[in-house]
Amino acid sequence: MTDLVTRAAPARQSALRRAAPALLGYAAVRALGLVALAVWSAARGKSAHTLLTARWDSLWYARVADGGYGYEVRLANGDVHSDLAFFPLLPGLERLLAAVAPLSLADAGLVVSLLASLAAAWGIFAVADHVYGRGARDVERGLGRAAEGERRAGICAVLLWAVLPVGIVQSMAYSESLFTALAAWSLYCVLTGRWVAAGSLALLAGLTRPVGLAVVAAVWTAAVISFVRNRSATGPHGARATSHAPADGPRSPGRPALGMLLAPLGAAGYVLWVGHRTGTGPFGYLDVQAGWRNGFDGGYAFARFVADKLTSFPSALAGLGLIAGVALVIWLYVAGARQGQPLPLLVYSGVVTALALCASSYFGSKPRLLLPAFPLLFPLAVALARARVPRSAAVVGAVALASALYGAFWLNGSGPP
């Protein structure tokens, strides 16, 4: 056991050193976004701190953290906005941090989000580096700039996630950063065969956002693949073709099965609890979402929304932009599949994308809801990483500045609903 501990510490240090350029770049981009927000907000007589911690969903999370569930707003049209729509992990962490540190619940949410965004950046790097990074040994073997570019793919993936137009949400007291961190590390554990950790992180992701189902689907997909490979590796009478493999090794079905068992417990547990609390049965959470006029209609409402935009000018320009955005998302998904992304990543990003685009309401929130679908960025990351460093740096710097200005403008305007 002592040997395992002593070996694990240097391994973690080495992994952190390898991820350090990505994390420093991410922190620089987010700092630029926060500075732009502070300057823009001050010029408009608004508080950047309030925009980050006490607007929109942040208020609902802080209210749950303060007094638990039970608050609702009844609108004039009969809609009921209940705080049961918000999953419990973020408000639970806000309450815990505020209890042990001299922070308000709102500030605790901001701290959780900032720390989670760094964890998410590290997790995104770990996944991309595992899939595309061949390491310095490939360069030493003379595989050239392409291999060196693939080694940098993890860094570029993190930077692209940071410079997304709605990237400022990563620094708000919202649950996107926390969810992405849990999802990214769960996927990394799936790809590296750490089944119990993968299932446990999926469980926590399911306590963070409804889209935790995407992480569950990825874990289950990987486990089924593991079972199939394990079965093919056994002899005709069930004896292992490699009898020297340990019982708890990568070919043992016990750990994948345990990961599968753990993964859905968070989301399923909360949904069942909501159904019990409201007395509406096991799917009562869907009734709660219906009170927010939110649901899953296969994209029909979104298609009608886009079509309505196209009927007049200048809203037609917005409609064309939405069509181009959806086409880009689909193209990135197909490009990832053609690059040979592991099936669990494709399943995860596919479910996140489907739930975001096919939701029946809050059309302005769709870019924010797509934030956790980071594997969609991998094709762009690989292309950017293969370019020369000065060119890549110039592209990222220009996009980072544009993203910072847009984030400041967006939060000082309509902001995320």
Tokens of 214: 């995407």
- Token pair 């501990």 in the structure block, residue: 5
Tokens of 47: 């508080």
pLDDT of residue 252: 66
* pTM passes above 0.75: yes
| pLDDT beneath 70, residues of the chain | 1-11, 134-150, 233-252
Q: What is the largest CA-CA distance in the chain?
A: 75
Q: Are the CB atoms for 168 and 33 separated by under 8 Å?
A: yes
Alpha carbon distance 85, 72 (integer Å): 10
pLDDT of residue 251: 54
Q: Which tens digit of pLDDT belongs to each residue from 187-201?
A: 999 999 999 999 999
The SS3 of residue 69 is coil
